[in-house]
Structure 1
């Protein structure tokens, strides 16, 4: 049977009907957010959590809610409190700019410097970044966004397995390996 010509439901209501929110998925996403945003001031952490959970409630999938909730230029994460680093697959300039900011925001006092020499692909550059982070007790977790960008978080090494498990429960793909 063909769909009706018009409907009185909003787009948000249609998405909710197609993808009902699961309480355990919401709980896992909330726990994951607490782990990923732990270094932010309480007020900022709460603001971003509410923003991301609101996007989930509006019908976005958890991965999209997390991604868009953080990267929005006006209402997402603040640059000095960078949590999710997103670079184009060939965005070496943006990596060179964002990686030191992410390192500082992660609580690492040692400076990180990168200069693109043209010989490595972005996944290799991120693997080297992860090796550098390991010396400071941190790891770089890649997030699968479904796009051609490279996105990821810096997490304390002891919480990597917990973050991956919470992400899986929330239907988000995080991994130490690039996608």
Structure 2
């Protein structure tokens, strides 16, 4: 303030900032959003655990904690799920890939991740992607879903609100149950891409 005072010839005066007697934890409570809906929180945890059921128990528990921590910090359910599994310093491991995320033109990423996703879901037959020049990513994902039907599996699309195509594999007989549970958690999931 002294520099500004001298710069403006003494015409720059400002009252001192107001002091607060709130503790640091009280300030953090004010900055965080309101309490989360317990039913939605429970549904998100159940959905995440169901998604990670194919992952070894210790790794699955770690990822569930990451997702729930993101949700507790104020992320919406879908953001907590995608950020918890895909972002940060310790996301899901490639050998335990359950949520795949590919850009609209990242055919090479799909070619690399799809076999890992298939393997992590317990399918013994490897998936081999052959790119034909005319296919768009939605067409590629639809073809991938048709390939999975032979093994009583389906590829569900997750509406993350980003430009990426996010999705995961579920058993064909659990599609409706998974969509309903995701809806209770506040996440849009469908057999059709978004």
Normalised TM-score (structure 2): 0.84
What is the CA distance between 1:73 and its match in structure 2?
5.0
Question: 1:58 aligns to what?
Answer: 73
> What root-mean-square deviation, in Å, do the aligned CA atoms of Structure 1 and Structure 2 show?
1.8
Matches within 5 A, 1:41-52: 41-52=56-67
What is the CA distance between 1:174 and its match in structure 2?
0.6
Question: 2:7 aligns to what?
Answer: none
Can you give the 5+ residue segments of structure 1 that lack an aligned partner in the other structure?
none
What is the CA distance between 1:120 and its match in structure 2?
1.1
Of the three residues 7, 10, 16, the one matched with 2:33 is 16
1:35 aligns with 2:50: yes
Matches within 5 A, 1:79-90: 79-90=94-105
Question: 1:176 aligns to what?
Answer: 191
In 2, are the aligned partners of 1:62 and 1:172 still within 8 Å (CA)?
Answer: yes
Question: 1:106 aligns to what?
Answer: 121
Report which of the two structures shows the higher radius of gyration computed on alpha carbons: 2
Instruction: Write the distance in 2 (CA, Å) between the matches of 1:62 and 1:111.
Output: 32
Question: 2:6 aligns to what?
Answer: none
Question: 1:150 aligns to what?
Answer: 165
In 2, are the aligned partners of 1:15 and 1:60 still within 8 Å (CA)?
Answer: no
Question: 1:131 aligns to what?
Answer: 146
Q: Deviations over 1:45-76 (max 9, x none)?
A: 11111110111111110000000000025211
Normalised TM-score (structure 1): 0.91
3-state secondary structure, aligned to 1:16: coil
What is the CA distance between 1:31 and its match in structure 2?
1.1
